[in-house]
Amino acid sequence: MKPRKTNFNGTLSKVKPEATTLLDQLGVPLRDFVRDFKLHGKSALEQVRLESPSKYLELAAKLAGLVAMIKPEPDGLSKARNVQEIAVALLKSVGLEDESELTPDLIAAAVKANDDFIARLEAIRDKAILAAAVEGELN
């Protein structure tokens, strides 16, 4: 029988299993490996490099892939330094990849769309703050 939890209204609902990330799944074995690699990794890699340069390159490529998967490069939005770069990143995120298609008019339209979106989010936030303040006054 699946575990159940009681909702705020007293009814029972199924407990959903939490999604686990790759790091969660690899947790202990990965930490053990990292600990061992800190102790012996340098000498082990030196030995592999001397005995089998092709194996050394294969390991290096696998490690580089693992590092990239664990710590990916930031996307365009996180690297953006101004609203125009944010607009370009947003347009690219919806499939407008070709730089030659990103005209100043399209970028300006994307800036306006983003500004409108932010304004709507701020309105939602303000409504939530007001509702919480009114609720606090009633209690």
pLDDT in tens, 72-123: 655 667 788 899 999 998 998 888 888 888 999 999 999 999 999 999 999 9
What is the three-class DSSP state of 117? helix
| Phi, psi values for residue 5, rounded to 5° | -125, 155
pLDDT given at position 135? 84
Record the tokens describing residue 12, joined without a space: 């029972």
CA end-to-end distance (rounded Å), the chain: 40
Which residues are CB-contacts of 56 (< 8 A; sequence separation ≥ 6)? 45, 48, 49
**pTM across the whole model:** 0.45
Distance of CA 28 to the CA centre of its chain: 22
